Structure 1
Amino acid sequence: MRRFTLILTIILLSIRGIMAQEAAADKEDQQSPDTASVFFFHADQRWPGESALKRTADTLLTGFQFYDPAEGTDLLNAVNGNIGLAYKTLIFNPRRSSGFRFSPYNFDAYILNNANIRYYRSFAPYTNIAYSFGKGKEQLFSVTHSQHLARGLSFGVDLRIINSVGLYNRQKSDNSSLALQGQFVTDNERYAVLANYRNNRFKWRENGGIVYDSVFTTNYEADRKRIATWLSNADNLIKESGFQINQFYYFGRNPRLIENPDAVSDTLLNMIKADTGSQIRTAPPGKLFFNPERTNFFRHTFTYTRNALLYTDANPRSGFYPEIYADSVSTFDSVFFHEFTNELIFEGGVGKARGSGKAVLLRAGIEHAFSTYKNDTIIRRFNRLTPFAYISANTFGIAKAEGKIWFSNGAPFNGEKGIAAMLTLPAFDNSTSWGNLYASLALDALQPEYLYQFHTSNHFRWENSFGQQTILSGKVMYKRKYFQTGFNFYNLDGWVYFNENAHPARADGSITISQLYGLADITLGSIGLQAFAIWQNASKSDILRLPDLAGRATATYSVALFKRALYLQTGLSLMFNTAFYADAYMPALRSYYLQNRVETGNYPYVDGFVNLRVKRARLFLVMKHLNSGLSGYNYIMVPSYPMPDRGLRFGVSWNFFD
Structure 2
Amino acid sequence: MNKIIVVLLFVWLCNGLNAQDKRTKPTIDESSLLKAKQDTTIIKPKTTPRNSKEKDTQPRIQDYLIISHENDTTFVDTTLTIQKEYKFNYLRRDNFGLMPFSNLGQTYNSLTFNFQSSNIMPSFGARARHFNYMEIEDINYYRVPTPLTELFFKTAFEQGQLADSFFTVNTSPQFNFSIAYKGLRSLGKYQHILTSTGNFRFTSNYSTKNKRYNARGHIVTQDLLNQENGGLQDGSVLNFESGDPEFIDRSILEVNFENAESILRGKRFHLEHNYKIIREKDTLSKNKLSIGHIMSFEDKYFQYDQTSATTSFFGNAFKTTNLKDRATLENFYNQLQLNYSNNILGSLQFNISNNNYNYGYDKLVILNGVTIINRLKGNILSAGGKYLKEYKSFTLKGEAGLNVSGEFDGNFIKAQATFKLNEDISATASINHNSQAPNYNALLYQSDYINYNWRNNFTNTETQQLAFQLKYKKLANITVDFNTINDYVYFKEDISFTAGNSVLPVRPFQNNATITYLRVKFENEIKFGKFALNNTILYQNVQDDNEVLNVPDLTTRNTLYYSSYLFKKAMYLQTGVTLNYFTKYYMNSYNPLLAEFYIQNEREFGDFPRLDFFLNAKIRQTRIYLKAEHFNSSLTGYNYYSAPTYPYRDFTIRFGVVWNFFL
1:347/1:585 Cα in 2 relative to 1: closer, same or farther (>3 Å)?
same
Q: 2:84 aligns with which of 64, 82, 106?
A: 64
Give structure 2 stretches of 5+ with no counterpart.
Answer: 1-33, 44-60, 364-373, 495-505
Q: What is the CA-CA distance between 1:100 and the residue it aligns to?
A: 5.2
Q: What is the CA-CA distance between 1:374 and the residue it aligns to?
A: 2.9
Q: What is the CA-CA distance between 1:28 and the residue it aligns to?
A: 11
Residue of structure 1 in register with 2:349 after alignment: 363
1:110/1:233 Cα in 2 relative to 1: closer, same or farther (>3 Å)?
same
TM alignment of 1:26-65, pairs within 5 A: 30-35=38-43, 36-37=61-62, 38-43=64-69, 50-65=70-85
Q: Secondary structure in 2 aligned to 1:215?
A: helix
1:33 alignment partner AA? T
Structure 2: distance between partners of 1:182 and 1:109: 25
Residue of structure 2 in register with 1:544 after alignment: 549
2:469 pairs with 1:477: yes
Residue of structure 2 in register with 1:406 after alignment: 401
Q: What is the CA-CA distance between 1:56 and the residue it aligns to?
A: 2.6
2:427 alignment partner AA? L
Q: Which moved more, 1:441-450 or 1:225-234?
A: 441-450
Q: Secondary structure in 2 aligned to 1:106?
A: helix
Residue of structure 1 in register with 2:297 after alignment: 304
Q: 2:254 aligns with which of 219, 228, 238?
A: 228
Q: Secondary structure in 1 aligned to 2:158?
A: coil
Structure 2: distance between partners of 1:617 and 1:536: 39
Q: What is the CA-CA distance between 1:468 and the residue it aligns to?
A: 1.4
Q: What is the CA-CA distance between 1:168 and the residue it aligns to?
A: 0.2
Q: What is the CA-CA distance between 1:333 and the residue it aligns to?
A: 0.4
Structure 1: distance between partners of 2:512 and 2:224: 36
2:132 pairs with 1:110: yes
Residue of structure 2 in register with 1:337 after alignment: 329
Q: 1:382 aligns with which of 351, 358, 378?
A: 378
Q: What is the CA-CA distance between 1:508 and the residue it aligns to?
A: 1.7
2:336 alignment partner AA? L
Q: 1:182 aligns with which of 180, 192, 204?
A: 204
Structure 2: distance between partners of 1:554 and 1:87: 22
1:422/1:635 Cα in 2 relative to 1: closer, same or farther (>3 Å)?
same
Q: What is the CA-CA distance between 1:400 and the residue it aligns to?
A: 2.8
TM-score (normalizing by structure 2): 0.83
2:636 pairs with 1:631: yes
Structure 1: distance between partners of 2:446 and 2:410: 25
Identical-residue share of aligned pairs (%) = 23
1:306/1:480 Cα in 2 relative to 1: closer, same or farther (>3 Å)?
same
Q: Which moved more, 1:116-125 or 1:105-114?
A: 105-114
Q: Secondary structure in 1 aligned to 2:38?
A: coil
2:137 pairs with 1:89: no
Structure 1: distance between partners of 2:94 and 2:557: 6
Residue of structure 1 in register with 2:436 after alignment: 446
- Give the conservation status (yes or no) of the 8 Å contact 1:73–1:530: no
Q: Which moved more, 1:90-99 or 1:141-150?
A: 90-99
1:123/1:130 Cα in 2 relative to 1: closer, same or farther (>3 Å)?
same
Structure 1: distance between partners of 2:204 and 2:527: 38
Structure 2: distance between partners of 1:575 and 1:419: 36
Q: What is the CA-CA distance between 1:323 and the residue it aligns to?
A: 3.9
1:513 alignment partner AA? Y
Residue of structure 2 in register with 1:498 after alignment: 491
- Give the conservation status (yes or no) of the 8 Å contact 1:333–1:376: no
2:335 alignment partner AA? E
1:371 alignment partner AA? Y
Residue of structure 2 in register with 1:556 after alignment: 561
Structure 2: distance between partners of 1:349 and 1:309: 43
Residue of structure 2 in register with 1:516 after alignment: 520
- Give the conservation status (yes or no) of the 8 Å contact 1:64–1:611: no
1:613 alignment partner AA? K
Q: Secondary structure in 2 aligned to 1:64?
A: helix
The alignment's C-alpha RMSD in Å is 2.2
Structure 1: distance between partners of 2:585 and 2:92: 20
- Give the conservation status (yes or no) of the 8 Å contact 1:104–1:449: no
Structure 2: distance between partners of 1:372 and 1:31: 48
Structure 2: distance between partners of 1:524 and 1:620: 24
- Give the conservation status (yes or no) of the 8 Å contact 1:134–1:647: no
Give structure 1 stretches of 5+ with no counterpart.
Answer: 1-25, 44-49, 257-274, 278-294, 353-358
1:517 alignment partner AA? K
Residue of structure 2 in register with 1:392 after alignment: 388
Q: Secondary structure in 2 aligned to 1:132?
A: strand
Q: What is the CA-CA distance between 1:410 and the residue it aligns to?
A: 4.4
Q: Secondary structure in 2 aligned to 1:68?
A: coil
Structure 1: distance between partners of 2:333 and 2:435: 22
1:27/1:348 Cα in 2 relative to 1: closer, same or farther (>3 Å)?
closer
- Give the conservation status (yes or no) of the 8 Å contact 1:300–1:343: yes
Structure 1: distance between partners of 2:193 and 2:95: 26
CA deviation digits over 1:478-529, x for unaligned, max 9? 1121521021111111111112342111112211111111112444431223
1:307/1:255 Cα in 2 relative to 1: closer, same or farther (>3 Å)?
farther
2:171 alignment partner AA? L
Q: What is the CA-CA distance between 1:462 and the residue it aligns to?
A: 0.9
Q: In the comparison of the two structures, how many residue pairs are matched? A: 579
Q: Which moved more, 1:457-466 or 1:577-586?
A: 457-466
1:495/1:476 Cα in 2 relative to 1: closer, same or farther (>3 Å)?
same
- Give the conservation status (yes or no) of the 8 Å contact 1:73–1:552: no
- Give the conservation status (yes or no) of the 8 Å contact 2:101–2:649: no
Q: What is the CA-CA distance between 1:224 and the residue it aligns to?
A: 0.4
Q: Secondary structure in 1 aligned to 2:238?
A: helix
- Give the conservation status (yes or no) of the 8 Å contact 1:382–1:410: no
Residue of structure 2 in register with 1:214 after alignment: 238
- Give the conservation status (yes or no) of the 8 Å contact 1:196–1:244: yes
CA deviation digits over 1:334-376, x for unaligned, max 9? 1111111111112221116xxxxxx522111011011112313
1:318/1:648 Cα in 2 relative to 1: closer, same or farther (>3 Å)?
farther
Q: What is the CA-CA distance between 1:255 and the residue it aligns to?
A: 5.9
CA deviation digits over 1:260-305, x for unaligned, max 9? xxxxxxxxxxxxxxx947xxxxxxxxxxxxxxxxx74211011000
Residue of structure 1 in register with 2:264 after alignment: 238
1:134/1:29 Cα in 2 relative to 1: closer, same or farther (>3 Å)?
farther
1:587/1:95 Cα in 2 relative to 1: closer, same or farther (>3 Å)?
farther
Structure 2: distance between partners of 1:522 and 1:28: 22
2:660 pairs with 1:655: yes
Residue of structure 2 in register with 1:196 after alignment: 218
Structure 2: distance between partners of 1:603 and 1:644: 13
- Give the conservation status (yes or no) of the 8 Å contact 1:28–1:60: no
Q: Secondary structure in 1 aligned to 2:167?
A: strand
Q: What is the CA-CA distance between 1:79 and the residue it aligns to?
A: 2.6
Q: Secondary structure in 1 aligned to 2:313?
A: coil
Residue of structure 2 in register with 1:248 after alignment: 274
Residue of structure 2 in register with 1:425 after alignment: 419
Q: Which moved more, 1:61-70 or 1:437-446?
A: 61-70
Q: What is the CA-CA distance between 1:226 and the residue it aligns to?
A: 0.5
- Give the conservation status (yes or no) of the 8 Å contact 2:266–2:298: yes
Q: Which moved more, 1:376-385 or 1:473-482?
A: 376-385
Q: What is the CA-CA distance between 1:192 and the residue it aligns to?
A: 1.1
Q: Which has the higher helix share?
A: 2
Q: Secondary structure in 1 aligned to 2:351?
A: strand
Structure 1: distance between partners of 2:281 and 2:473: 33
CA deviation digits over 1:302-334, x for unaligned, max 9? 10001021101112135111342x212231001
- Give the conservation status (yes or no) of the 8 Å contact 1:607–1:622: yes
CA deviation digits over 1:553-574, x for unaligned, max 9? 1221011011101111101111
Structure 2: distance between partners of 1:238 and 1:79: 18
CA deviation digits over 1:239-267, x for unaligned, max 9? 011111111111323669xxxxxxxxxxx
Residue of structure 2 in register with 1:458 after alignment: 448
- Give the conservation status (yes or no) of the 8 Å contact 2:199–2:221: yes
Q: What is the CA-CA distance between 1:114 and the residue it aligns to?
A: 1.5
Residue of structure 2 in register with 1:259 after alignment: none
Q: Secondary structure in 2 aligned to 1:314?
A: strand
Q: Secondary structure in 1 aligned to 2:278?
A: coil
2:533 pairs with 1:529: yes
